Amino acid sequence: MQKTYYVYIMASNNRAIYIGMGNDLRHRCWEHKTEANEGFSKKYKTKRLVYFESFDDVRDAINREKQLKGWRRSRKVALIESKNPKWSDLSRDWFQSSPEVLRLRPRVARPAPQDDKSKRAWVEREREWVELKFYSKATILRLHSHDGMNRLSRSMLKQLSEAIKVVPIDKPLILTGNKTFFSAGADLHEVAALSGPPAYEFAQAGQALMKAVDQFPAPVYAAIEGYCLGGGFDLALACDYRMAAPNAVFGHRGAALGLITGWGGTQRLPRLIGKGRALQMFCAAEKVAAPLAFEIGLVHAIADDPLQEVIARLNANV
């Protein structure tokens, strides 16, 4: 399929200007809006798309980008205002109603060839991502990873937090995983390698994500199939509603490893199912299957396809 290449101009509220080029303008706008990458755009908050041109040939796009970057500011401003006098954000509706899938994956610098450890970590990060799909009545956020376990690594926490920033706040949000794992929780190998300050930052990142989900303006649903453990369980608890498949399994296995969650589960679970039952799950590292989870009030309902059931209920305004 023929690719289209874009030369675009992003601007801040103070009209600082950034000029870029790429073949996925929607994703580039998301990167600017969520400050996904370090550099000029993050420093100067260039989050509004104010101008863009499209090209069929990547060479033409590259040449045009170089040309615009070489212009004086006054000429760039004149170009923008010739098409967009009010400097309106041309991408303001792009994250509202499009049914297209948006895959979000922050760019991470490729390590030096001789740094094998960093290279392996880079490969792992490149093979996990968040997928957003926008519908008229809801947004679906799906976790993906190379092994299907959807661990909440530092990279995944960042992607989830950034995704929450760009989804529409006036319609329900549905979080889901795959048939076998909603999420296996934190990457314990990664956690074990963290020293004091990075470990504290990791804990804060998890808490910030759970808070963002908990305080999301619209209802948040967790459509859960398979294992929902540890930090993944915390994520489900931060949602307003939990719809489980018959094969869903819940638990905090940290006690078996000498760990306890720091992402809010110790507070949310007792409020949901009572202090005694919550202590049993935490201290005994107990795993709870879907039927018992429904019986004790951990999930709101069980359905063969929880995602489709949530969508059906939203469409029926249940």
Co-location of 79 and 105 in the same domain: no
Start-to-end Cα distance in the chain: 41
Co-location of 124 and 210 in the same domain: yes
Q: Which of 32, 142, 139 is CA-nearest to residue 96?
A: 139
Decide: helix, strand or coil at residue 249: strand
Decide if 28 is inside a domain. Answer: yes
Co-location of 22 and 150 in the same domain: no
Q: Which residue has the tokens 């170009």?
A: 79
Decide if 90 is inside a domain. Answer: no
pLDDT of residue 92: 80
CB 142 within 8 A of CB 176: yes
Q: Any idea what the CATH number is for the domain that residue 160 is in?
A: 3.90.226.10
CB 232 within 8 A of CB 254: no
Alpha-helical runs (H) found in 18-153:
25-34, 40-44, 58-70, 73-83, 116-126
Decide: helix, strand or coil at residue 257: helix
> How large is the C-alpha radius of gyration of the chain?
22
Decide: helix, strand or coil at residue 158: helix
**CB burial string 179-217: b at 16+ within 10 A, e below:** eebbbbbbbeebbeeeeeeeeeebbebbeebbebbeebe
In angstroms, rounded to a whole number, what is the distance separating the alpha carbons of residues 131 and 307? Answer: 14
Query: Which residues of the chain carry a pLDDT beneath 50?
Result: 97-99, 106-113, 118-125
Q: Which tokens in the block code for residue 110?
A: 């490729």
Q: Which of 237, 107, 85 is CA-nearest to residue 159?
A: 107
Strand-pairing partners, residue 20, are 8
Considering its fold, how many domains does the chain have in total? 2
pLDDT of residue 136: 79
What residues make up the domain containing 250?
A: 101-315
Q: Which tokens in the block code for residue 199?
A: 């470990």
The single-letter code of the amino acid at 65 is E
Decide if 92 is inside a domain. Answer: no
Co-location of 166 and 39 in the same domain: no
Co-location of 113 and 41 in the same domain: no
What torsion do the CA atoms of 229, 209, 41, 129 make, to the nearest 10 degrees? 20
Decide if 11 is inside a domain. Answer: yes
Co-location of 128 and 203 in the same domain: yes
Q: Which tokens in the block code for residue 123?
A: 């490969």
Co-location of 120 and 78 in the same domain: no
Decide if 88 is inside a domain. Answer: no
Q: What length is written for the chain?
A: 318
Distance set, CA 312 to CA 137, 301, 307, 315 (Å): 11, 13, 9, 5
Q: Which of 263, 260, 292 is CA-nearest to residue 279?
A: 260
What percentage of the chain's residues is helix, strand, coil (to nearest 5)?
40, 20, 35
Q: Which tokens in the block code for residue 4?
A: 């289209």
In angstroms, rounded to a whole number, what is the distance separating the alpha carbons of residues 304 and 290? Answer: 11
In angstroms, rounded to a whole number, what is the distance separating the alpha carbons of residues 248 and 299? Answer: 10
